[in-house]
Amino acid sequence: MSNHLQYAPRWLRGRGIEIGAHLLPIDGIQPIYVDRFRDFGGSACRLDVQADAGALPFPDDSLDYVASSHLIEHLANPLAVFREWNRVLVDGGIVYAVIPDKRRTFDHPRAVTPWEHLLADFAAGTTPVDGTHIDDFVFGLDWSRYQPGATPAEAATARQAAAANYTDAVRAGREINIHFHVFTPDSFRETAIRLRAEPRLALDWRLEELVEAFPAERGDGFLVIFRIRKSMPRSIARCVNWFRRMRNPRFPLPAA
């Protein structure tokens, strides 16, 4: 049975962060916990640093890994976030992410998000204050799995209400929290290839492993592990970071 304890301690070493751990942190690591919320759904979040996944308060080349679980589908502009993760990681750093496999979730009726859509969101600077994904999410998902027990009439009413609420939020300039995009292991393999080939991104991310039905106790996602390459060698970054820690023992934590 595949689980985090088989993979995380092997790949996630040194100083790194887990984003959005909330109630289900990745086993086997001791990261700096980052979340944009102090509490979510009535429960306190695991939080050392409050920040958005796409605006991290860490210096360039200061982290050995970025880890997340069931986060990427909530990103309105994942490619912009990947560039931010690339900025804070050292050469040889690891991106470790569990992503829902849309075939195994309430998103199964929705079409896989194509690379061209992700690139268009990047070019447009799409933010979570965006209404273009609402209908695909609300009217595309399997409501019987999203809200089990609802009758067809109740589901229809709930869909309309959800769409109206999200639309009102966007019109008011508020962010929304939905599954903006959906993936399968095969679609993400293509994404991994296209990441390296797109000059506007300048991301040299190499897919080291992809594990389906992960973790086994849930079975609704897949694990991707990238190793990134950068122009500044890891040895130089480590020396620079050593001097930074001499001046600030809390490094790379922000001062406040």
* pLDDT tens digits in sequence order for the chain, 256 residues long: 799 999 999 999 999 999 999 999 999 999 999 999 999 888 999 999 999 999 999 999 999 999 999 999 999 999 999 999 999 999 999 999 999 999 999 999 999 999 999 999 999 999 999 999 999 999 999 999 999 999 999 999 999 999 999 999 999 999 999 999 999 999 999 999 999 999 999 999 999 999 999 999 999 999 999 999 998 777 687 778 877 877 777 788 886 6
Domain ranges of the chain: 4-103+114-124+179-247, 129-176
Query: In Å, how far are 16, 58, 62, 101, 163 from 90, measured between CA atoms?
Result: 10, 12, 6, 29, 41
Query: What per-residue string of b and e applies to 15-48 under the rule 16 or more CB within 10 Å gives b?
Result: bbbbbbbbeebbeebebbbbbbeeeeeeeebebe
Q: Which CATH superfamily is domain 4-103+114-124+179-247 in?
A: Vaccinia Virus protein VP39 (3.40.50.150)
Instruction: Report angle CA 124, 126, 128 to the nearest 5 degrees.
Output: 170
Provide the token pair at 159.
């869909």
